[in-house]
């Protein structure tokens, strides 16, 4: 694993742990590999739910070069549910810190 990746992961863990220390309900896990995208689900069970999928292109390092797609439940329940299920599958196979 490259030193830059290790530093990025540690920086993210520090941010998450600081949020937890402030009393926010934060959970995270680690996957053994990168799935090639990142995924955030907001309000997965609510009617205003949305999924934000970030595609990581080939040979790109800058976050500015990454495509972000927001899918609201109201726009496409099918694709919203698809990405919510992807998140659940990744969460279930990932390990706790």
pLDDT 10s digits, 2-48: 777 788 889 999 999 999 999 998 899 999 988 888 899 999 999 99
Question: Locate tokens 């742990």: which residue?
Answer: 17
- Summarize pLDDT for 58-90 with one digit per residue, the tens: 776 666 677 889 999 999 999 999 999 999 999
Confidence of residue 1 (pLDDT cuts 50, 70, 90): low
Q: What does each C-alpha distance from 45 to 12, 20, 72, 75 come to in angstroms?
A: 26, 23, 12, 15
At 20, list the tokens: 């937890």
The answer to whether 84 and 44 are in contact (CB under 8 A) is: yes
- The pLDDT of residue 67 is 84
Question: Locate tokens 């689900």: which residue?
Answer: 41
Beta pairing, strands 37-42 & 67-72:
unpaired
Answer with the residue of higher pLDDT: 4 or 52: 52
Q: Is pLDDT of 55 > 70?
A: yes
């Amino acid at each position: 694993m490259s030193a830059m990746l290790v530093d990025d992961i540690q920086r993210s863990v520090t941010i998450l742990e600081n949020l937890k220390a402030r009393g926010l309900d934060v959970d995270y896990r680690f996957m053994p590999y990168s799935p090639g995208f990142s995924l955030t689900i907001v309000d997965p069970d609510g009617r205003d739910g949305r999924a934000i999928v970030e595609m990581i292109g080939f040979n790109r390092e800058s976050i500015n070069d990454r495509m972000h797609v927001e899918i609201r439940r109201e726009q496409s329940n099918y694709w919203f549910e698809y990405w919510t299920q992807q998140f659940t599958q990744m969460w279930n196979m990932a390990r706790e810190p």
